[in-house]
Structure 1
Amino acid sequence: MMSNNSIHYDVLIVGTGNAACCAALSALEKNVRVGMLEKAPKQDRGGNSALTGHMRFVFQGIDDLRPLVKNTNEEELQGLIDRLPRRTEDDSWDEVMRVTAGQCDPELLRVHVTQSRNTMQWLASKGQDWVPATGQQALGDNILIMNGGGYGMQQRYYAALDRAGVSIHYQHAAAELILDDGKVCGVWARTPNGMTKFTAGAVILACGSFEANPEMRARYLGEGWDTVRIRGVPYNTGEGLQMAMDIGALAHGSWTTCHASPQDINISEHTLPSQHAISGGDSTDRYVYPYSIMVNTNGERFVDEGEDTRGRTYAKMGRAILAQPGGIAFQILDAKARQMNLYPTNYASATGAKSNTLEGLAHELGIQPENFIKTVSEFNTAIQPGDFNPNRHKVDGKGTKGLRINKSNYALPVTDGPFEGWAVRCGMTFAFGGLRVDPETSQVQHNAGWGIPGLYTAGEMVGGLWIGNYASGSGMMAGSTFGRLAGSSAALAVLAGKP
């Protein structure tokens, strides 16, 4: 049933994740009335933002960290700086250009790099806080994690929005943008009770990518992607992108690549925030691979496991795994990995096998034994002199020479039993393709070359930042930065009475 009545807001935001919440808080600073639409029920609100833990940001030293970390003493802060003294704008720029092979949109990257530090301070002023990355979380190359993870961060957002009187309409799936003489002035939303009309001075789309849509995965990413498991919520099915392109929004960035990482072979088809909060999160991530050799069922290596630090390679490893027979692979390590405490704690629940011999391990895992033993022997022989150093922030240079696929760093001989192997598959988080925006306002651009009046976007719907690969924590940071821009730009446009 279609409602004849409409609900009006100055700024209407589609989505309730990190980018959407930042847009709302930013718009509220301009004293406008804000409403939000959430496709999921209340207990599973927040999209993939509720499932993460990191933000990758520029900082110059300990003084930049103090406002972000509450209830932490100077000794703990100094320990963080000892691990990573700073991440400069040049460092951040070079890193994104490095992981995207120079294909990142430079204007978007300029905003992302120059605004991340200020955005973090702004988030702290809104009640967000972080804690030192320790234990399993320290195995990445970010030194802070959100207090309570992404789920905790989202709860703080919702508390702030509730105090400000923002209405969130749950189980309201945005279905169509409403136009008036070329200007976006609202959204039709599908609910369990029929269609509801929302009108607005401006609309901000911040409702994620298309990772949970098998048809769009197959269409844009290619063969085999329609059956991958999702490291995220089932609600991000691409409607936001599609409804924007239906009115002429210009697609931007890489629509054939995505964030896809090594996950336990038994990862579920998707993850809900409510389940994630109960489980403690990240239980299926399998990120010990830089210190392993990864082989397929034929017993062959297929990728440079130590090309760079884990934080700069994990998001493209899933694609390499998916291309293997059966879409599965095995992370192989020997007893030294246990002795050196290389395993993240979540490997306690990992799917795998242990054996005193390589042949026995191959049998347990279903790997072709002769090829496997040959692969391990050739790998061990090819390791070059140097010190193995599992530093999470910089590579150690200890690699191999003479192999069909050399390992660039972290080459640890696989010689001492018992040997362990872990079965992994590809888990997709989000697609890199999105919409072209004005980098200064996050206004969506029309394919004819102008901004679409009344339409803004943020989060993973912004295309052009990530091409083929991604660095850990970058998406949340960009989501906050462009969400903040979208919120303020939309509110100012509404107040000025113009698009």
Structure 2
Amino acid sequence: MTLPSSCDVLVAGSGNAGFTAAVAAKQAGAKQVILIEKAPEEWAGGNSFFTAGAYRTAHNGAADLLPLVNNVDEATSKRIDMEPYTAQDFANDMQRICQGRSDPTLSKVLVEESFPAIQWLKQNGIRFQLSFNRQAYEVGGRLKFWGGLALKTEDGGKGLIEDHKANARRHGVKTYYSTALEQLLTTPDTGAVEGVIVRHQGKTATIKAGAIVLAAGGFESNPRWDLAKVRGTPYNTGDALEIAIRDAKAKQVGNWSGCHSVAWDANAPAHEGDRIASNEFTKSGYPLGLMFNNNGKRFVDEGVDLRNYTYAKFGRAILSQPNQSAFQIWDQRAIPLLRSEEYRPERVKQIIANSIPELADRLVELGLENRKAFVDNINAYNEAVYAFQKENPGKKWDPSIRDGVSTQSKAIQLPLAKSNWALPLDKGPFMAVHVTCGITFTFGGLAVDPNTAQVISSVTDRGVESLYCCGEMLGGLFYDNYPGGSGLTAGAVFGRRAGMAAAENAKKGGHSRPRL
């Protein structure tokens, strides 16, 4: 397709936030909306394609969510245990998990608009399901959801992007792949953004626009993160962030040294995700077992919290270990509970042994340097677990709650506890997998007006006229960690705000309006 010379709204980025913004702009009255994407079409979707498609939302229980999903029959619905996850619960998690550093207004908007955004996505053809495989355990015949996260998209990120692409086509959004943003054009007197220069099919072109929405991802694929494996697209190198800072004097905010990362298959590709395997390289079964570094030592409390609140920071913890490497270990009590899509032999190299010493020998071949410490630490762990069980005979192990089954008793306390779900690890055969850090998205980004997602100027501390931002490029929401599933929700919430505000700006004349 030939690039247009002008449009009402131009969106840069083809992920969840970008497609949301483009369709929202169309629905708000923008006549001509185009979406540009630096990557070729076979890499459409940015990092959203590589997610599990989980969306965190406030809700009042299963009655709120069942009308949104397509995978629950009447019999199954009667077996579901799902506590309400209120707006206050969501707000508390944002405060706790982000260490009180999340921008309070951005966080408030995210929480309060989370459910309306899900409803909007549903109305626009996004297929939601209850996440039985990732977010529920069967306990006593009941399907118990846990961790405040219940919704996912059908076929994960792959299905999400297919649905977004179809919705954009229905709304008449024109999408141009292999089209990279190179420059924001601004008016000399006001600094308002009035268009872009892009590179398309090897040539530069100018597109005038009434408003521009930046949704082009973070900088996780930039070589500065070369010790972490890239979980998703190789095209998120931070170009659009640099362009906005350079050309529009966009204000930087947030945790620029922080990122969402996960325990990732050590044998996965280093510099880009695999579009077939996608999220299956994630290795999130650590709460059911133990993690050791190459020195034979545990380095995190695997049971400190529900997985939804730890996986994004434990990947970074692995990055800090010798050789950016770790081993996840389980025995026969836990192996049957591991998710097959992540741990089946077709997806990951399973290291199997009949005893802990034999397992240690096999791990030495993969980089374990202190075999004795590994064996001794597992023995010490088992002693601590049995001591706790002896003192607490009525304590019940339950992976769907913070069960308090730990290593810490009056008789024995480990220097590094396992605070929940601490079962003995002595029933062979044993299994280990080799993991590293897989980086998902970076936390640093641009400052925006929470009401409109308009980019803030570092010079005037006021909005940059006609420029908006959403998705991973938006800074200030997440610090050090994040509540699982809130990234896609934030992309939808602020993508809608950016798209609607951009359309209104364009209808009023965009950059041609004088600044008062």
Common fold by TM > 0.5:
yes
1:494 correspondence with 2:495: no
- Name 2:399's counterpart in structure 1: 391
Q: Could you tell me how far apart the structure 1 residues matched to 2:472 and 2:349 are?
A: 31
1:341 correspondence with 2:342: no
- Name 1:29's counterpart in structure 2: 27
Q: Could you tell me how far apart the structure 1 residues matched to 2:429 and 2:354 are?
A: 4
1:442 correspondence with 2:453: yes
Q: Could you tell me how far apart the structure 2 residues matched to 1:334 and 1:138 are?
A: 21
Aligned partners of 1:287 and 1:344 also within 8 Å: no
1:151 correspondence with 2:158: yes
| 2:434 alignment partner, one of 403, 423, 442 | 423
Q: Which secondary structure does the structure 1 equivalent of 2:451 belong to?
A: coil
Q: Could you tell me how far apart the structure 1 residues matched to 2:185 and 2:79 are?
A: 52
| 2:196 alignment partner, one of 187, 190, 197 | 187
1:476 correspondence with 2:488: yes
Amino acid at match of 1:242: E
Residue 458 of structure 1 deviates from its aligned partner by: 0.4
Q: Could you tell me how far apart the structure 1 residues matched to 2:61 and 2:321 are?
A: 43
- Name 2:64's counterpart in structure 1: 64
Deviations 1:48-93 (A, max 9, x none): 111222111111133321331136333334444x1x2221001101
- Name 1:465's counterpart in structure 2: 477
Q: Once the two structures are aligned, what percentage of the paired residues are identical?
A: 39
Structure 2 counterparts to residues 407-422 of structure 1, below 5 A: 407-422=418-433
Q: Could you tell me how far apart the structure 1 residues matched to 2:166 and 2:55 are?
A: 21
| 1:283 alignment partner, one of 272, 280, 297 | 280
Residue 125 of structure 1 deviates from its aligned partner by: 1.3
1:256 correspondence with 2:257: yes
Q: Which secondary structure does the structure 2 equivalent of 1:203 belong to?
A: strand
Q: Could you tell me how far apart the structure 2 residues matched to 1:62 and 1:261 are?
A: 29
Aligned partners of 1:25 and 1:161 also within 8 Å: yes
Amino acid at match of 2:438: G
Aligned partners of 1:203 and 1:456 also within 8 Å: yes
Residue 352 of structure 1 deviates from its aligned partner by: 3.7
Residue 341 of structure 1 deviates from its aligned partner by: 2.5
Amino acid at match of 1:307: V
| 1:87 alignment partner, one of 77, 85, 88 | 85
Q: Which runs of 5+ in 2 are unaligned?
A: 138-145, 512-516
Report the TM-score, using the length of structure 2 for normalisation. Answer: 0.89
- Name 1:267's counterpart in structure 2: 268
Residue 163 of structure 1 deviates from its aligned partner by: 2.1
Q: Could you tell me how far apart the structure 1 residues matched to 2:486 and 2:269 are?
A: 25
Q: Could you tell me how far apart the structure 2 residues matched to 1:440 and 1:466 are?
A: 18
Comparing 102-111 with 137-146, greater Cα deviation is found at 137-146
Comparing 297-306 with 157-166, greater Cα deviation is found at 157-166
Q: Could you tell me how far apart the structure 2 residues matched to 1:38 and 1:407 are?
A: 45
Deviations 1:94-114 (A, max 9, x none): 111111111111110000000
Residue 288 of structure 1 deviates from its aligned partner by: 0.7
Amino acid at match of 1:114: E
1:326 correspondence with 2:310: no
Aligned partners of 1:352 and 1:365 also within 8 Å: no
RMSD: 1.9
Aligned partners of 1:62 and 1:78 also within 8 Å: no
- Name 2:140's counterpart in structure 1: none
Aligned partners of 1:333 and 1:419 also within 8 Å: yes
Distance 1:6 1:178, change over 3 A: farther
Comparing 110-119 with 42-51, greater Cα deviation is found at 42-51
Q: Could you tell me how far apart the structure 1 residues matched to 2:104 and 2:308 are?
A: 21
Report the TM-score, using the length of structure 1 for normalisation. Answer: 0.92
Distance 1:271 1:409, change over 3 A: same
Amino acid at match of 2:355: T
Q: Could you tell me how far apart the structure 2 residues matched to 1:136 and 1:88 are?
A: 21
Q: Could you tell me how far apart the structure 2 residues matched to 1:424 and 1:298 are?
A: 15
Distance 1:492 1:78, change over 3 A: farther
Q: Which secondary structure does the structure 2 equivalent of 1:283 belong to?
A: helix
Aligned partners of 2:254 and 2:444 also within 8 Å: yes
Q: Could you tell me how far apart the structure 1 residues matched to 2:78 and 2:196 are?
A: 49
Q: Which secondary structure does the structure 1 equivalent of 2:439 belong to?
A: strand
Q: Could you tell me how far apart the structure 2 residues matched to 1:330 and 1:398 are?
A: 22
Amino acid at match of 1:87: Y
Residue 306 of structure 1 deviates from its aligned partner by: 1.0
Amino acid at match of 1:440: N
Structure 2 counterparts to residues 189-338 of structure 1, below 5 A: 189-214=198-223, 217=224, 225-246=225-246, 247-271=248-272, 276=275, 278-279=276-277, 281-338=278-335
Deviations 1:126-149 (A, max 9, x none): 122212223356478432220222
Deviations 1:209-232 (A, max 9, x none): 001111xx3xxxxxxx32321011
Residue 343 of structure 1 deviates from its aligned partner by: 4.5
Q: Could you tell me how far apart the structure 2 residues matched to 1:90 and 1:481 are?
A: 17
Q: Could you tell me how far apart the structure 1 residues matched to 2:331 and 2:154 are?
A: 34
1:40 correspondence with 2:42: no
Deviations 1:247-301 (A, max 9, x none): 21111110011011101110112445xx52x44x422111110121111111111
